[in-house]
A = this chain, B = another copy of it.
Amino acid sequence: MNIGAVAKASGVSAKMIRHYEQIGLIGHSPRTEAGYRQYQERDLHTLKFIRSARDLGFSLEQIRQLLSLWYDGERSSAEVKQLAESHLSDLDERIQALITMRDALVRLSESCCGDDRPDCPILEGLAGHVPASSSPPQLSKQKAQGV
């Protein structure tokens, strides 16, 4: 298989496959005389693995570890699970951060009537004059960080 074929079959772009090779995430593939990279079923399998891990949000560094665990018949599933859990809490943090943003923005946005007049609680909020929230702030996820 040429790179285009594995790319299509794996869902990883040719560009990225070359990149993964360059950073050592995957090995150097053999080349034809003309210099074309040649891939086997096994490589396709690896690329699909990488693709799945990317879809779950694992970083390339984490994928490097996942691959080495995958290849290692002596691994303990605990190691894998630990990696997954660690990524999981990272995801949770990011989700929380975004939700905090969203909640704050929703509150600002709701307080703005959005008509043709210039008065705008959103801008005022950004400028530091926080609008009185209509509902009590029991979400506790307000602007915790502030300045």
Contact residues of A with B, CB < 8 Å?
9-11, 45, 48-49, 51-53, 55-57, 66, 69-70, 72-78, 80-82, 84-85, 87-88, 91-92, 94-96, 98-99, 101-102, 104-106, 108-109, 112-120, 122-123, 125-128, 143, 145-147
Contact = CB atoms under 8 A, between A and B. Distances in A.
A52 B82 CA distance: 36
A139 to B, nearest CB: 11
A122 B81 contact: yes
Q: Is the interface of A mostly helix, strand, loop or mixed?
A: helix
B95 A102 contact: yes
In this complex, the member of A56, A76, A104 whose beta carbon has the largest number of chain B beta carbons within 10 angstroms is A56
Given A76-B117, A123-B70, A105 B91 contact: yes
B120 A77 contact: yes
Contacts of A98: 57, 91, 94-95, 98
Given A76-B115, A77-B112, A77-B114, A102 B84 contact: no
